[in-house]
Structures are given as structure tokens and as C-alpha cells.
Structure 1
Amino acid sequence: MSGTTRDRLTPVTHTVGRPLYYDEGRGTYHAWCTDADYEPVSTGLVMAVSSILEVDPADLELLSTCVDPDALNALVVHWNDAGAEPDRGSITFPFARCTVTVHSDGEIVIDPDSPAGT
């Protein structure tokens, strides 16, 4: 669900480095990566998942076992450069016992209760 409005989400206070929000109705966490962000989307999603699971990022499986981080970063840059409109694209994959969806508008949705492919 790309284009989530942050005003209906609850900010999560125990995060590391990136604002993270919780959607109580769906049980999902949300973060956003934009062109202005210093870190690539792959780093942002690892940090978000580590905050959600309350583990050190180094203790997570390697993101590269689920998706090519460079390809993911390039895809998001392409979406940004192309001026993609919301809901114009997304990629979903399992990571660290979660389902992660990255949308073309920079929204990252993490479902810790539903690993993709199960």
C-alpha cells in the first residue's frame, strides 16, 4: 500500500537512525527513503528491520541472501529519476523473518508477522 499517510501511523520510539512508524490496523511498520537521504534504501531497510526485531544489524542475515542490494538501490534511484508516481512499482521479498516491500515513492513497508513466500 504505497502512499500511506503518516498521520494515521504511530511513531516508534526505539529506532536506530531512521524514523519508523507503526500501522496498528495492519500490524506493519513503515519508513521512507527519499532522494535527499544520505543512505541507500538497502541500508535504511536493514536498520528499520533491526529496530523492529530489536537486534543489532550485524546479527541479521545478509540482505544479499534475499535481494541484490545494489540492484535494489539502483531500482529506487531509477524510480526517483523517472519521477515515478505512487503505486507505479514495488518489489517484495522476504528478509529476516519479515516481508519487506519497497514502493516506487520511497515507502518501505515491513511486516514482521508474514514472511514472503510462506
Structure 2
Amino acid sequence: MRAVFLPIVLGSFASPASAESLEVVGYSGYLGEWELTATVTETGSGHMKEYSGPLTMKHIGVCTQDGPEEKTGEMRFQVSASSSQLNATVSVAGVECIYSGRLSDSYTGTMKCPDRQAVPLKLWLR
């Protein structure tokens, strides 16, 4: 019994702790015309969890003529364990936008980009 138990215990110490990954899905714009998808990995620990990773924004509105426009970038955000607030930075094509959303059925808030009007953004974390 002891010979079987010891390798299991030692094996559990040898395996590295893996960072948690999340899939982020969202819709931006007054009509939800931009679809946002990202796969983010946990980069911080403790009370405030931090995540970052690549994102894609695809224009899914009806006014596309040559197929959907697609932009890539990066998303970084923090989620507080004690509140229902998500604060994010979205960087696309050299433009850095700030997002703050509250959790209800989704994280709902606005994304503010320099020299542009703030737009609604809903996010779901899976």
C-alpha cells in the first residue's frame, strides 16, 4: 500500500500548476454589430485575478459588402473575486480602449476609445 501511495504523492508535487484559461465572447456596438472572441490565460493570482490573451473582432453587421471585416489584437482584464466588476483594456490596431462592466447575465458596460464615442459591450466568460 505504501509503495503505491508514495509515487502518487510525489507525482502530484512534480506536476506544474497550470494557469486557468477562459474563452471570452462578446458583442459591441449599438446593434451588436461587432463580435468579439478571445482566449485568455490567467496571469495573476490572489484577490484580483488577471487574464490576457489574443482577441479577434469581426464585423457581423448587415452592411458588410466584401465579407466581414476582421481585426485582431489583445485583451487584458481583471476580475475581482469579491465584486461583480470586470475592468479591461482592449488593444486593436494600435488603439487602446478601456472597458468596465458589471455582471448580471453578462458583463455589461461601455468601451471607451480615444477620440471616439463610447459604445456598449457585453461579455461572457466561459
The verdict on a shared fold, with TM-score over 0.5 as the criterion, is no
Task: Look at both structures and tell me which one has the larger radius of gyration over its CA atoms.
Answer: 2
Q: Indicate the structure with greater helix content.
A: 1
Q: Indicate the structure with greater strand content.
A: 2
Q: Return the TM-score normalized by structure 2.
A: 0.28
